[in-house]
Amino acid sequence: MERIFSLDSLRTVRPRWPVTLLGVLGIVLILEVTARMLPDKMLMSPRSSVGTIEWMERELLPRHPKPRVIFVGTSRVRDSIVPRVVDDGLGLPAGSAVNLGLAGGRLFEAMLMYDRWQDQLGEADLVVLNVDEWFFNPNYNLGWLYEVHAPMSERVQLPAHVRWPSVLDGVFQVRPKFVPMIQTVKRSFRKRKPRGLELRVDENNQITPLEKATVDPTLITEDRFRRTSDCFYHKYEVNPVLVNHFAQFAERVRSSGAKLVLIQIPNLGVYQQYIDKHHGEAFQAHLKALRETAKNLKVPLRIYIAPQECGLEESDYVDYGHMVPSGANKLSRFLAELIKKEGWLE
């Protein structure tokens, strides 16, 4: 019987793979493997948070071989606390107080530094953490280091509009590292050396700008306050992941045998008035979360709202919260007296 249908021709059929798609996947795979292999310090510029931490390790830490008091926080701590003034106020040898303020640094960066320098920082008896008003808010500047190194268990607990980009960053490291990788390649072809940090460690063991900070009237305007506060309070919420960072940091401090104290240094008075008027509910939510966190961790907390509470004046501020040297000296003396009064070093 003659066959009408034959399947013989199918035996010669070969699957046709999409060559372009395979090529793209291959490139992505190569980039992903490369991104995971490259160390952070190779990718980031000297002016980044990674570059700053490397710089602090070289320039700052050798001055503090046996620290007794550690101050941790953002650039507000860096600019507002003078270690040698604290040393003198507490009657301690020079180099006993160390200021680890990092511009834009959250508790995640503080924990990275504390772990990295544990052998040295673990000698301290007291760690003072200044809490900025955006520390609980995941909708403002989680930072490049968090984008790259955050555990997946935390990424999935972030708000939805932050969560999914963060999850992708965790799965595909090339996402947060791609632009730094391109910039690294560009820098390698430049004859001119990239700009370094415009900072120095001065005679008081404080990290200061190369140019002396002065009051700038253009930074103390309602328009400037609006732009600053709109960033800090963008979609403000208290996130449990960031609350838990306090517990993680507290555990590190306690395990090294030190005491943890939480403080909040005051904003510029007129800026605080602006916050109370335009972001008052969010600010109160921050204060509530801070008080509950300190209570749950059983650590001392001191909150200062008005500059006068710390012996400061409006003229002691550069902008909304950073200080000129006169303000930094005043605040440092105030904190030294507070530490003595409360017996936190005993």
What does the pLDDT read at residue 14?
57
What does the pLDDT read at residue 18?
76
CATH number at residue 275: 3.40.50.1110
239 occurs within a structural domain:
yes
- In the predicted model, what is the mean pLDDT of the chain? 90
179 occurs within a structural domain:
yes
User: How far, CA to CA in Å, does 277 sit from each of 140, 230, 280?
Assistant: 20, 13, 6
What does the pLDDT read at residue 182?
81
177 occurs within a structural domain:
yes
Least confident of 180-194, 287-301, 305-319: 180-194
What does the pLDDT read at residue 215?
67
215 occurs within a structural domain:
yes
118 occurs within a structural domain:
yes
User: How far, CA to CA in Å, does 319 sit from each of 116, 214, 231, 249, 272?
Assistant: 32, 10, 15, 29, 12
299 occurs within a structural domain:
yes
Type of residue numbered 158:
L
What does the pLDDT read at residue 196?
67
Q: What is the mean pLDDT of residues 157-179?
A: 90
The set of residues, in sequence order, having a beta carbon less than 8 Å from that of 182 and lying 6+ positions away, is none
CB-CB contact of 78 with 101 (8 Å): yes
Residue 15 predicted with pLDDT over 60: no
pLDDT digits 0-9 by tens, 230-256? 999 999 999 999 999 999 999 999 999
Count of CB atoms within 10 A of residue 198's CB? 9
**pLDDT band at 74, cuts 50/70/90?**
very high
How many Å apart are CA 165 and CA 180, to the nearest integer? 17
What does the pLDDT read at residue 41?
81
Q: What is the mean pLDDT of residues 217-224?
A: 84
Structural domain total, the chain: 1
96 occurs within a structural domain:
yes
How many Å apart are CA 116 and CA 97, to the nearest integer? 18
Q: What is residue 131's DSSP assignment?
A: -
Looking at the DSSP assignment, which residues form a beta bridge with residue 259?
Answer: 126
Sheet of strand 126-130: strand arrangement: 97-99, 69-72, 126-130, 259-264, 301-303
Residue 123 predicted with pLDDT over 80: yes
Q: What is the mean pLDDT of residues 6-18?
A: 57
Nearest to 64 by CA among 118, 119, 121, 127: 121
- Domain residues for the domain of 290 are 44-342
288 occurs within a structural domain:
yes
What does the pLDDT read at residue 211?
74
Q: What is the mean pLDDT of residues 118-136?
A: 96
Q: What is the mean pLDDT of residues 158-175?
A: 91
**pLDDT band at 165, cuts 50/70/90?**
very high
Q: Select the more confidently predicted residue: 194 or 315.
A: 315
**pLDDT band at 178, cuts 50/70/90?**
confident
What does the pLDDT read at residue 88?
98
CA count, 13 A, side-chain hemisphere, 125: 9
